């Protein structure tokens, strides 16, 4: 074979190899794109890198109680598609879509609820811990929590649940090495567990302090886990408060203090210096503690809070709010109702529910978007910016109050 023919043969072989390589690479990319969940949406981007769009099927692989009274139950879930899970920021939550069976008094329905992740990130499973919510003690006429009851009474290992990607802005500042103080009331401890487990794994020298208040040992969740962390990690201090110790509860063994978390306690047990505070609990705790931290002189940048139940940490019970001198007209289009807002309710969702207007809701804190409603006319106010990216021309009823006369689609 002469020189030009040999050169042509070599060039042809080289180009063929390149073509095969490009073809294989393209095939792999296409297969990956088909297998991976789509993430090119604002919703997914807000939830974090690698998050998926919309709902994804997860199977319950393990379930178990975290407290002695069997009121707080953890569910470990794994993606049905078997794909690697994206990381989440410690403190974030998952959003669930739940199909509730009908009863003689209520029709079948689908509801959306958000529950905090209670573990540090791993690539295979997520864990949430859900407290059964009974009717309020003083209002036995009100129903118990539908979603929490569904999880406790109906959801079993092997069941498949529809889940949105992790989201939420109540997260640990992982770039900081400032001492972190976690103030938790009741089931508000769940995001703190996630923050603690991440911290001891990735920042073992960072000073951490959990101050956790519950009624007594029956409600004391994650007791063995927390005591184990306190014994094995010198930088972590644990203080437990019982509001109403039981006859078998022993001070210094089960708890360190009697009563509730307040500034006087913090001043007594915290060392001098700057701290980052993470606060999560029921409305009464948030309404007292968050403003008190600010009044104590803690900079707002060092106070991170999330409440469950009514959304605002400035929550004031209905009946104790200042009534407006002039009411504001609110028209609900689908329900064909026109009502007068007087300022007695914390938000438009509470207002609608009190008047029997059906509205979908989930987190009740401006995070999940379930109560998003088209705003046909008027203007609303948010005390703080919602985590959820509200669609233009809409509003989130759970955190909105009217500024002017409103026309809503609901």
Q: Residue 227's pLDDT is what?
A: 97
Q: Is the pLDDT of residue 271 over 70?
A: yes
The domain boundary residue, chosen from 167, 195, 212: 167
- Only one residue has tokens 């972590």, namely 236
pLDDT average, residue stretch 284-293 = 93
Q: Quick check: 383 pLDDT over 90?
A: no
- Of the pLDDT bands very low, low, confident and very high (cuts 50, 70, 90), residue 138 is low
Residue 76 predicted with pLDDT over 70: yes
- Please state the rounded mean pLDDT for residues 168-196: 96
Phi, psi of 7 (to 5 degrees): -65, -40
Please state the domain count of the chain: 3
pLDDT value of residue 111: 84
Q: Kindly state whether residues 212 and 116 are assigned to the same domain.
A: no
- CATH code of the domain covering residue 251: 3.40.50.80
The pLDDT of 357-377, averaged and rounded, is: 85
- Residue 5 within a domain: no
Compute the distance between CA of residue 346 and CA of residue 305 in angstroms, rounded to an integer. Answer: 18
Tokens of 205: 């020298």
378 inside domain? yes
Selected residue with higher pLDDT from 208 and 6: 208
Residue range(s) defining the domain that contains residue 392: 328-408
pLDDT score at 50: 66
Asked whether residue 319 is domain-assigned, the answer is no
Residue 342 lies in a domain: yes
Residue 15 in any domain: the answer is no
The answer to whether residue 7 sits within a structural domain is no
Cα angle, residue 363 at apex, residues 357 and 368 outer, rounded to 5° = 100
Q: Say yes or no: 141 and 55 in one domain.
A: yes
Percent of the chain at pLDDT > 90 equals 65
pTM as predicted: 0.76
Structure tokens at 357: 């207007």
| Residue 22 within any structural domain of the chain | no
Identify which has the larger pLDDT, 323 or 132: 132
- Residue that finishes a domain, picked among 104, 136, 167: 167
Higher-confidence residue of 110 and 264: namely 264
Query: Is residue 258 in a domain?
Result: yes
CATH code of 401's domain: 3.10.20.30
């Amino acid at each position: 074979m002469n020189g030009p023919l040999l050169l042509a043969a070599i060039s042809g072989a080289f180009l063929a190899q390149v073509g095969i390589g490009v073809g294989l690479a393209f095939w792999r990319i296409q297969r990956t794109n088909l297998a991976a969940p789509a993430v090119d949406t604002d919703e997914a981007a807000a939830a974090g890198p690698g998050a998926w769009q919309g709902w994804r099927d997860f199977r319950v692989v393990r379930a178990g109680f975290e407290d002695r009274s069997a009121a707080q139950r953890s569910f470990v879930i794994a993606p049905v598609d078997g794909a690697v899970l994206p990381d989440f920021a410690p403190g974030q939550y998952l959003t669930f879509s739940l199909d509730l069976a009908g009863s003689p008094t209520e029709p079948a329905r689908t509801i959306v609820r958000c529950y905090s992740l209670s573990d540090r990130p791993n690539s295979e499973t997520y864990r949430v811990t859900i407290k059964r919510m009974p009717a309020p003690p003083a209002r036995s006429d009100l129903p118990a929590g539908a979603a929490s009851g569904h999880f406790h009474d109906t959801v079993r290992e092997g069941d498949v649940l529809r889940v949105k990607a992790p989201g939420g802005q109540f997260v640990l500042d992982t770039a900081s090495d400032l001492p972190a103080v976690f103030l938790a009331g009741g089931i508000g401890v769940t995001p703190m567990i996630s923050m603690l487990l991440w911290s001891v794994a990735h920042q073992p020298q960072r000073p951490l302090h959990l101050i956790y208040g519950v009624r007594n040992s029956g409600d004391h969740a994650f007791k063995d886990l927390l005591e184990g962390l306190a014994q094995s990690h010198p930088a972590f201090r644990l203080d437990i408060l019982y509001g109403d110790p039981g006859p078998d509860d022993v001070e210094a063994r089960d708890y360190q203090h009697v009563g509730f978390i307040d500034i006087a306690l913090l001043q007594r047990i915290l060392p001098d210096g700057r701290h980052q505070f993470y606060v999560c609990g029921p409305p009464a705790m948030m309404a007292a503690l968050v403003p008190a931290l600010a009044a104590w002189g803690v900079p707002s940048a060092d106070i991170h809070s999330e409440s469950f139940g009514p959304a605002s940490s400035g929550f004031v019970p209905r009946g104790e709010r200042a009534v407006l001198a002039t009411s504001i007209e609110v028209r609900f289009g689908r329900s064909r109702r026109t009502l007068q807002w007087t300022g007695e309710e914390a938000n438009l969702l509470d207002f609608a529910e009190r008047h029997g207007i059906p509205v979908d809701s989930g987190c009740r804190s401006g995070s999940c978007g379930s109560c998003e409603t088209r705003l046909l006319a008027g203007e609303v106010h948010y005390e703080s910016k919602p985590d959820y990216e509200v669609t233009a021309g809409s509003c989130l009823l759970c955190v909105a109050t009217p500024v002017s006369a409103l026309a809503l689609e609901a």
